[in-house]
A and B are shown apart, each in its own frame.
Chain A
Amino acid sequence: GAGVSQSPSNKVTEKGKDVELRCDPISGHTALYWYRQSLGQGLEFLIYFQGNSAPDKSGLPSDRFSAERTGGSVSTLTIQRTQQEDSAVYLCASSLGRGLYEQYFGPGTRLTVT
């Protein structure tokens, strides 16, 4: 069956522009996670959705970052007024639930802010 898909796969944008990253989770997965991986760093947790709600937004690096999930399925991560330090690979994962449930990751979106 289809795995987690993310679009675009690569995005180059100018500093100050807004970008929107999309994640299509595996059908039926109620949990959805966003992470980012900067060069030489581990995965940094950004936000978790259970259904459409994200109880904890404290992982988002700044108020320029926002995320939503509609219909318990597709999620979008929006970065406003992008900065060069936002350059990273943004990874989405979905799972049947929190905790020990296996997370299935998408291939990621490589964002480059020039």
Chain B
Amino acid sequence: DQQVKQNSPSLSVQEGRISILNCDYTNSMFDYFLWYKKYPAEGPTFLISISSIKDKNEDGRFTVFLNKSAKHLSLHIVPSQPGDSAVYFCAAGGNRDDKIIFGKGTRLHILP
């Protein structure tokens, strides 16, 4: 049973436009959410996080939106740049246990 779902395996976006990566979750007990970016043959690198008490967090070109009622979050990247081409993982965790659950990732291609 996948608790964190990234339903789009891949996404292609024109350079300069907005990239929107989506993530759905099923466990209402999750207290925080994180986005990671991964290049081939490297470990994931942290991008941005959000607590369940907030509905938006912004850091430069990256903004994460959380809709708790829909159990949905999204990562917006604007403007998209060639270096943004990577696999993006959504992850969620709860303060009541130690597990962090990752989605399967979305591969983002930024087109020139």
Residues of chain A at the chain B interface (Cβ within 8 Å): 4, 33, 35, 40-45, 48, 50, 55-56, 58-59, 91, 93, 98-100, 102-108
Q: Is the CB of B105 within 8 A of A100?
A: no
How far is B30's CA from A99's CA once the two chains are assembled, in angstroms? 10
Is the Cβ of B49 less than 8 Å from the Cβ of A43? Answer: no
Q: Give CA–CA (A98, B89) in the complex, Å.
A: 18
Bound together, the chains give a CA A97 to CA B89 distance in angstroms of 20
Number of chain B interface residues as a range:
20 to 34
Given contacts A40-B104, A42-B6, 6 further A-B contacts (CB under 8 A): A4-B43, A43-B44, A45-B99, A56-B97, A100-B34, A102-B49
Q: Please, which residues of chain B bring their CB within 8 A of the CB of A105?
A: 36, 43-45
Tell whether, in the assembled complex, residue B46 and residue A42 are in contact, meaning their CB atoms are under 8 Å apart: no
Q: Can you give 19 contacting A-B residue pairs, CB < 8 Å?
A: A4-B43, A42-B4, A42-B104, A43-B44, A43-B89, A43-B91, A45-B99, A48-B99, A48-B100, A56-B97, A56-B99, A59-B99, A91-B43, A91-B44, A98-B98, A100-B51, A104-B46, A105-B45, A106-B43
Residue of B36, B98, B103 with highest tally of chain A CB at under 10 A: B98
Let me know if B32 is at the binding interface, CB within 8 A.
Answer: yes
State the CA gap A48–B99 with chains docked (Å).
Answer: 7
Contact between B102 and A43, CB atoms less than 8 A apart = yes
B100 & A44 in contact (Cβ 8 Å cutoff) = no
Q: Are B49 and A42 in contact (CB under 8 A)?
A: no
